[in-house]
Each structure stands twice: as structure tokens, then as C-alpha cells.
Amino acid sequence: MSAGDNTLNSIVARLLVRTLVGQDTFSATPSTDPLSTPPPASLLASGGVYSTEQFLRNYVRFMTTPGSHNDTYAETYHRMFFLNLGKGLPPEKCADDDKHNVDSAGGLVLIPAPALLAAAAQGGAAAVSAGVTQMYATHNSKRLAKFVEVYVKALHRVFLRSEDESPGKAIREAVRDAGLALGVGDLVELAAKTPGHEGDLAVIGRFGSACYIEGSLPSLLYLAGKYSETPQEALFQNANVGGENCHRGSALGALLGAAWGMAGWPKELVEGLKEAKTIHLEAEAFARAAELCATSGQREIAVKILEHP
Amino acid sequence: MLFSLSLPSIRTSYKIKIFTFFFFFSARQNSEIIRLLLKLALGVTMSRAAMASSISDRARGAYWGGLIADSLALPVHWYYNPADIVKQFGRITGFRPPASHHPSSIMSLSNTGGAGRGGQTGSIIVRSKHSRVAQESSLPLSPLHHQPPHLYRAMLLITGRKNTGGFQGCTITKV
């Protein structure tokens, strides 16, 4: 892999966004990257209709298409899913749980997109429902669902902040509530009295820098709280503390971006992603879908999510 | 009167009270109050439009943020000793390619036939012809790529994050 690439779970998150905006087909020709085909212009304009079944169909097809991605590692949830598929189970019954590795930060990577659309359309309860519904499509874990709920509540809180509230303040409020809900104390207060990189290493070392959700979500929230005014720095720091930083980072970046919008990300980071041109089309389609969800009379996407628990 | 007409569902007793309220003010004061009410109504409409625009920007920001963060961390994914990051990369402040050596890769511990850790003889994960190791070990993979997707059954194609240690070899069973 090379500079500006994305890892497998993030590539699947792109596939999910394409599904959400109605791009449910891609070229299955070997050696072409399905995600390199831009979504049709009509879909960019019209939003789309979503169901987890549709996502799972695309997911199976994507994962079994040679050359569809260039990552060498697939997390446990993928392996368990395809083990079950190989046994002949239908895709909607393939999500599994090993009571250990499935409950990980990787389980948060697919959550933001459907949760944000549902939040835009119908608010916090719908966002949690959409997030948990999405999680069960690939992760059959009640334990993980509790963490997803905490994460989505934070996401919803910052995403629908009022215009009068600054993004940084909204993030800190959301982080404080989430930390208390997880029983790890006031993470904003902890961040305020923890100086520098060494301090971050100590805190994240204590919570856990690995993938396991009970450590990775508090670590993510701590970074969000500490760098709430400098989202770019939060992502740098997330990388530099190591561990399972890709998936933790993905969920962290979505949380900060949901508060800051594009003002949070400098041009060089946006344009530096290897697939930036195609991601731009997906992002615009997704933004349009969110806007449609937020406007009265255009609530179909979230409603469809809730019809498929 | 103008005010009570704009609120047709309001009860008559309240209309009288509102009318009385306006009666005690001068015409100039009344026009100012009406202007204020119009401004308020316009403000609600404006803020709804602003909110829709904020929502699309925040959705965009969330999407890009997730992908940017993942890619920034990619070269140092699973570096469990942060000192190794400093040693190999200094400080990560932009997109970087992975180094040729990963000091704390756990990939070779991953079970290729199911969940978590385990052996690497399972067939859930196989290597494609693009994989360095597959080429080195001359695994007979090429014919697989000519089969339609549904014949691949439960198979993930893993092709090339070259920094991460690597599997010691996979047995390909039936596909």
C-alpha cells in the first residue's frame, strides 16, 4: 500500500456510503477497483434508498471480487462473516461474535454514515437505531451495541449542535457525557490536566491502545476532548500514539468532522488521499443525502433504515 | 386585527386580549412590533436553510475526516511501541507510505481460517496473484481469477499491504 491509501474497513465504509446514496452496483471485472467508478450524476442529485440487505449484497460481492482492494489484512468480523457464508448461511445471518475480537473499534467504522443520515432526518433515537442496525449487519454483538450507542449519541450531539455553539464546545460536551456513560469519568477534565504527547501516551496506555472497544472508545473520546479545537492535530496524535489507530482514527475523524465540517480539514489532507477525486463525488452525494434528510418531506432514507432492524 | 387574522386558530378571548395589547401602543410602536415579528418569522426560515447547509457540510466533514484519519494512521497501524514510530517516521503529520519493516506486526499471528489468532492454513483468506508471497511460493492461484464471483464462496482476497509482516502461507482448499 502507499501514502494516502485507505485500509480495508474504510474502503468498506466507502462502499456503504455508495450504497446509502443509491450506488448499488459496481464493475465486477477483475483488476478494476469498483470504487474507482464514480456514482452516476443522477444519484448525486437524488439521494437514495438504503437497506442493510443491499449493503450486505454489495459487501459480499466486493469482498469476493479479485483485485477489489489492496489491503493484506481482514479483521475477525470479516473472517467470521465469510466462514458463515461458506457454510451456506444467507448474508443477513452471517454476522458473528467471537466474544473478543468482534467487540473492537473496527465495529465503529461503518456506523457514522447511516447514523448521520438518520440523525439529520429524525434525531437522536433514530440515529442510535440506524447505527445499531448497521452494526448488527456485520457484528453480532450485544456488548458492542452498547458502545455503538454511546458513540452515536456523541456523534448526534455534535452533528446537530446549534449554530450558536462552537464545534469545540459541542465536542467537549459530547465527550464528557460519553465518558460518564462509559464509567470512565470526566474525560474533558482528564484531558485538561494531561499535558503533551507523553501524557497522551500514559492515558491511552491506561485505557488501551489496542482494538478492544472498552479501551479504544475511551481513548478516542479522550483525544477528541483534548484536541477539540484542533481536529487536524487530533488525527495526527491518534496516529502517533500507535496501536489500533486506523479504526480508532476513522471513528474519531468522523466525530470531529461531524462537528467541524470541512473547516476541520486542511486542503492538503483532503487532496492528499489517493482516491480523493472519487471520494469527493461520494462525499458530495452523501452531503446531499444528509441535506435531503434534514429537509421536510425527504425522510425516506432514514425511514428505510428503520424498516430493516 | 392584522395580527389576529394571521393566527386563525387562536381562541376569540385571546384575540381580544392581543387586540387590546396593540390598542395601548401608538401606530409607530405597532409597526415596530409587527416588523419585529416579521423579522422573527424570516429568521426561522433563514435558520432552517442555514441548518440544512450546515448539515451537508458536517456530513461531508465526517466522511472526509474518517478517511483522512485512517490513511494518516496506515503506515503506523499496530505499532504498539510508540518509540518505533519516532524511530522510523519521526512524527506523523501527513500521509506516508508504510516502511519496509514493521517492528510489531501481529499479522502473522492472525488466523486465516476464522476469528482472532490462530494458524495460517485456513482458506477464508487467500492470497491473490498480486501478492508478493503468493508469487514467491508459486501458489496456483491464477485459475481462480477467471471464475465468476459466486464461485469464490467464502473467500477474502488479500493483496498487498506490504509492510505488515505477512502470513506464512495459506492452503487453498475448494473454491
Half-sphere exposure of A154 (CA within 13 A, CB side): 38
Higher pLDDT: A141 or B50? It is A141
B114 pLDDT above the threshold of 70: no
Range of A41-45, A80-84, A225-229, B133-137 with top mean pLDDT: A225-229
Phi, psi at residue A295, to the nearest 5°? -90, 140
Contact call for residues A262 and A280 (beta carbons, < 8 A): no
A221 has a chain B CB within 8 A of its CB:
no
b (16+ CB within 10 A) / e for A211-249: bbbbbbbbbbbbbbbbbbeebbebbbbbbbbbbbbbbbb
pLDDT classification of A74: cutoffs 50, 70, 90:
confident
- A36, three cell numbers: 474507482
Which pLDDT score is estimated for A83?
86
3-state secondary structure at position B43:
helix
Which pLDDT score is estimated for A71?
78
Which pLDDT score is estimated for A100?
83
Which chain A positions have a beta carbon within 8 Å of B59's beta carbon?
A: 116-117, 120, 159, 258, 286-287, 289-291
Q: What whole-number distance in Å separates Cα of residue B139 and Cα of residue B171?
A: 9
Which of A63, A87, A72, A159 has the alpha carbon at shortest distance from A116?
Answer: A159
The count of other CB atoms within 10 Å of the CB of residue A185 is: 12
B175 has a chain A CB within 8 A of its CB:
no
Higher pLDDT: B68 or A295? It is B68
- Compute CA A9 distance to the chain's CA centroid, rounded to the nearest angstrom: 9
Phi, psi at residue A233, to the nearest 5°? -65, -35
pLDDT classification of A222: cutoffs 50, 70, 90:
very high
Phi, psi at residue A243, to the nearest 5°? 75, -145
Q: What whole-number distance in Å separates Cα of residue B63 and Cα of residue B59?
A: 6
Q: What whole-number distance in Å separates Cα of residue B17 and Cα of residue A6?
A: 65
Q: Which of A117, A163, A290 is opposite residue B50, by nearest beta carbon?
A: A163
Residue type, B81: N
Mean pLDDT of A105-120: 93
Which pLDDT score is estimated for B108?
55
Which pLDDT score is estimated for A157?
97
Among A56-60, A90-94, A130-134, B153-157, the minimum mean pLDDT is found in B153-157
pLDDT classification of B131: cutoffs 50, 70, 90:
very low
B172 has a chain A CB within 8 A of its CB:
no
The count of other CB atoms within 10 Å of the CB of residue A160 is: 20
Subunit contact A72:B155, Cβ cutoff 8 A? no
Mean pLDDT of A59-86: 83
Q: What whole-number distance in Å separates Cα of residue A217 and Cα of residue A162?
A: 25
Higher pLDDT: B159 or B17? It is B17
pLDDT classification of B9: cutoffs 50, 70, 90:
very low
H/E run at residue B158? strand B156-158
Which chain B positions have a beta carbon within 8 Å of A98's beta carbon?
A: 115-116
Place of cell 494531561: A194
DSSP of chain A = --TT---HHHHHHHHHHHHHTT-------TTS-GGGSPPPHHHHHH-----HHHHHHHHHHHHTSTTS---S---HHHHHHHHHHHTT--GGG--B--SSSSSBGGGGTTSHHHHHHHHHHH-HHHHHHHHHHHHHHHB--HHHHHHHHHHHHHHHHHHT--TTS-HHHHHHHHHHHHHHHHTS--HHHHHHT--HHHHHHHHHHHH-SSSBHHHHHHHHHHHHHHTTT-HHHHHHHHHHT-BSHHHHHHHHHHHHHHHHGGGGS-HHHHHHSTTHHHHHHHHHHHHHHHHHHHSTT--HHHHHHHT--
Which chain A positions have a beta carbon within 8 Å of B144's beta carbon?
A: 66
Mean pLDDT of A43-69: 69
Contact call for residues B96 and B145 (beta carbons, < 8 A): no
Mean pLDDT of B134-145: 27
Q: What whole-number distance in Å separates Cα of residue A73 and Cα of residue B126?
A: 11
Higher pLDDT: A296 or B169? It is A296
Subunit contact A240:B85, Cβ cutoff 8 A? yes
Contact call for residues B133 and B166 (beta carbons, < 8 A): yes
In chain A, positions 151-180, which contact chain B (CB-CB < 8 Å)? 155, 159-160, 163
- Compute CA A241 distance to the chain's CA centroid, rounded to the nearest angstrom: 20
- A24, three cell numbers: 448499488
Higher pLDDT: A177 or A60? It is A177
Higher pLDDT: A16 or B72? It is B72
Note the pLDDT tens digit of each residue in A162-211.
999 999 999 999 999 999 999 999 999 999 999 999 999 999 999 998 88
Phi, psi at residue B157, to the nearest 5°? -100, 120
Which pLDDT score is estimated for B82?
93
Range of A51-55, A116-120, B106-110 with top mean pLDDT: A116-120
In chain A, positions 242-271, which contact chain B (CB-CB < 8 Å)? 242-265, 268-270
Which pLDDT score is estimated for B43?
58
Q: What is the mean pLDDT of chain A?
A: 86
A31 pLDDT above the threshold of 60: no
A305 pLDDT above the threshold of 50: no
Which chain B positions have a beta carbon within 8 Å of A65's beta carbon?
A: 149, 157
B46 pLDDT above the threshold of 60: no
Q: What whole-number distance in Å separates Cα of residue A301 and Cα of residue B89?
A: 43
Q: What whole-number distance in Å separates Cα of residue A285 and Cα of residue A298?
A: 15
Which pLDDT score is estimated for B25?
57
pLDDT classification of B133: cutoffs 50, 70, 90:
very low
Which chain A positions have a beta carbon within 8 Å of B130's beta carbon?
A: 67, 70
Place of cell 455534535: A158
Higher pLDDT: B124 or A48? It is B124
A198 has a chain B CB within 8 A of its CB:
no
DSSP of B107-121 = GGGB-TTSSSB--S-
B43 has a chain A CB within 8 A of its CB:
no
Q: State the best of B44, B55, B70 to mutate against chain A, taking most chain A CBs within 10 Å.
A: B70
Note the pLDDT tens digit of each residue in A275-288.
998 899 889 888 98
Q: What whole-number distance in Å separates Cα of residue A246 and Cα of residue A216?
A: 11
H/E run at residue B4? helix B2-5
Q: Which of A82, A96, A263 is opposite residue B156, by nearest beta carbon?
A: A82
Which pLDDT score is estimated for A108?
98
- A261, three cell numbers: 465540517
pLDDT classification of B41: cutoffs 50, 70, 90:
low
pTM: 0.77
Residue type, A223: L
Half-sphere exposure of B93 (CA within 13 A, CB side): 3
Q: What is the mean pLDDT of chain B?
A: 60
Q: State the best of A75, A140, A157, A269 to mutate against chain B, taking most chain B CBs within 10 Å.
A: A269
Among A10-14, A70-74, A99-103, B117-121, the minimum mean pLDDT is found in B117-121
Higher pLDDT: A29 or A101? It is A101
In terms of Cβ atoms closer than 10 Å to its own Cβ (0-12, 13-18, 19+), residue A164 is exposed
A110 pLDDT above the threshold of 90: yes
B7 pLDDT above the threshold of 70: no
